[in-house]
Amino acid sequence: MTLAEVNREPFIDKLCERQVLEEAITELYERAIRHARSEQDFGQLVEKLVAFQQQERAHVDMLEQAIRALGGDPAQMTPSIRVMRAEIAGLAAVCESADIALPHVLSALFAGELIDHAGWELLCDLAREVELSEEWLRRFEDALREERVHLAWVRDQLSKATREEVMATPVPPTA
Domain boundaries, the chain: 3-167
Cα–Cα distances in Å, from 79 out to 17, 20, 37, 50, 82? 10, 12, 36, 31, 5
Q: The whole model's pTM is what? A: 0.88
> What is the reported pLDDT for 144?
97
CB 55 within 8 A of CB 146: yes
Q: Which of 102, 125, 100, 117 is nearest to 39 (CA)?
A: 102
> What is the reported pLDDT for 132?
87
Q: Kindly state the DSSP code that residue 5 receives in the 8-state scheme.
A: G
CB 74 within 8 A of CB 64: yes
* Cβ atoms within 10 Å, residue 117: 17
Q: At residue 132, what are phi and psi to the nearest 5 degrees?
A: -60, 155
3-167 domain in CATH 1.20.1260.10? Answer: yes
Biggest CA pair distance of the chain: 58
> What is the reported pLDDT for 150?
97
pLDDT tens string, the chain, 175 residues long: the values are 456 666 788 899 999 999 999 999 999 999 899 888 877 656 788 999 999 999 999 999 999 999 999 899 999 998 889 999 998 999 988 888 778 888 889 999 999 999 999 999 999 999 998 888 899 999 999 999 999 999 999 999 999 888 887 887 665 666 5
